[in-house]
A = this chain, B = another copy of it.
Amino acid sequence: MANIKDVARIAGCGIATVSRVINKSGYVKKETREKIEKVIAELSYQPNEIARSMTLQKNHIIAFILPNSKHLFFGELLYHVEEELFDYGYKMMICNSSEQLEKEIVYLDMLKNNRVDGVILLTNNDVEQYLNKKLPIVSFDRYFLNVPYVASDNFQGGILAAKRLLEHNCKNIMFIGDDAQGEHTDVLTDVSKRRKGFVNHLHSQGYENVINVEYPLKNYFVSVEQFESLLNPYQDVDGIFCISDSVAYTVIKVLEKRGKRVPEDVKVIGFDGGRSFNNLGMKITSINQDPLLIAQAIRKLILNYDVKDSNKKLIVPVKISEGDTA
């Protein structure tokens, strides 16, 4: 593979001049430039990016650490983040942690050893002690001390869900979620605001008796059977706000088993976008997280990273997406 020296030698000039041509920096006489460009084309020379990174001390690669690209929402987020970064001249490394702390640490170390210029972090683990706060890190949906973060407007999402259920004249309203996450895992999530916004709005409208159902986090996957017993005491609910579409999906299955009709007997609202679930025969009405807006917010924070404003937050608006369940 030809290098800059070859180009200089064949073009009969110094390597600095070649460099100037490549980077369009500094003055180069027109004829010299043309000569060099010709040689570059002939050799189909491409500057070695490793060497360039070496000199510039940055490589324009950002790592995205996330649990799992198999989940539809993550797959979408991944897609949009990569597009955003690409438009700004950055490449993206993908790191499926599978929620394993050890793997997350390996990837976080890539920031310290100059493998990448920045890290986007999406985790439920407490990686606080493995973060070098002087380096560019942006977190999605989780609070870490002095780490800027991006989250959907979960509070507003809760309000939207409450409004919708009240519009439908629901009288026995329930929230189902795992938002105690913060207490269970030591990692504070923005997701807990879904419940807060929901309950807040209901209270403000004079509705006080929200039924609060918690289910254990730590297994993303919940069975219909598990939920049946959880929901058993509440036979007469007519409006349910679920912390995710995944939960909403399972709840609807439980209701169907019970002989309830959705949405005629019970309204159900999920969270995420209602685009992730199979075999339901209907579209879940859901509070929509916008992966494109989230990606843009993440890109802004990571590419303009500055240690000084490491407590920046960017909150992305949500809206309710119309489905068949509420």
A145 contacts the other chain (CB 8 A): no
> Chain A 84-113, CB within 8 Å of chain B: the 1/0 string?
001000011111101000010010011011
Contacts A113-B47, A115-B91 given; does A79 touch B83 at CB 8 Å: no
Is A59 an interface residue when CB atoms closer than 8 A count as contact? yes
- In the bound complex, CA of A72 to CA of B92 (Å): 20
Nearest CB in chain B: distance from A206 CB, A: 37
Say whether B69 contacts A72, CB under 8 Å. Answer: no
Query: Is A31 an interface residue when CB atoms closer than 8 A count as contact?
Result: no
Contacts of A281 in B (CB 8 A): 279-281
| Count of residues in A whose CB is under 8 Å from the partner chain | 49
CB distance from A77 to the nearest CB of B (A): 9
Neighbour of A93 across the interface among B54, B57, B70, B91, CB < 8 A = B91
Q: How far is the CB of A249 from chain B (nearest CB, A)?
A: 10
Residue-by-residue, is A59-78 near B (CB-CB < 8 Å gives 1, otherwise 0)? 10100000011111011101
Tell me which residues across on chain B come within 8 A of A278, comparing CB atoms.
Answer: 275-278, 280, 283
By a CB distance below 8 angstroms, the chain B residues around A93 are 61, 91-94
Contact yes or no, A82 B110, CB < 8 A? no
- Tell me, rounded to whole Å, the shortest Cβ–Cβ distance linking A98 to chain B: 8
Q: Are B46 and A50 in contact (CB under 8 A)?
A: no
B1, B61, B78: the one within 8 Å of A69 (CB): B78
Chain B residues whose C-beta falls within 8 Å of the C-beta of A95 in the assembled complex: 82, 91
Interface of A is mostly: mixed
| Cβ distance A95 to chain B, nearest Cβ, rounded Å | 7
Q: In the complex, which residue of chain B has the Cβ closest to the Cβ of A134?
A: B1
Which B residue's beta carbon lies closest to that of A276?
A: B278
Answer whether A69 and B54 are a contact pair too, CB < 8 Å, given A112-B46, A113-B48. Answer: no
Residues from chain B with a CB closer than 8 A to the CB of A91 are 93, 95, 110, 115
Inter-chain contact A76/B86, CB cutoff 8 Å: no
- With a CB–CB cut-off of 8 A, which chain B residues contact A41? none
Question: Are B48 and A51 neighbours in the complex by a CB distance under 8 Å?
Answer: no
Whether B59 contacts A68 by the Cβ 8 Å rule is: no
Contact A79 B86 (CB under 8 A): no
Contact with B along A102-139 (1 / 0, CB 8 A): 01001001101111000000000000000000000000
A115 CB to closest chain B CB, in angstroms? 4
- Compute how far the CA of A86 lies from the CA of B282 in the bound complex, rounded to whole angstroms: 39
Kindly state the separation between the CA atoms of A294 and B320 in the bound complex, as whole angstroms: 38
From 140 to 166 in chain A, residues with beta carbon under 8 angstroms from any chain B beta carbon are none
A108 CB to nearest chain B CB (Å): 11
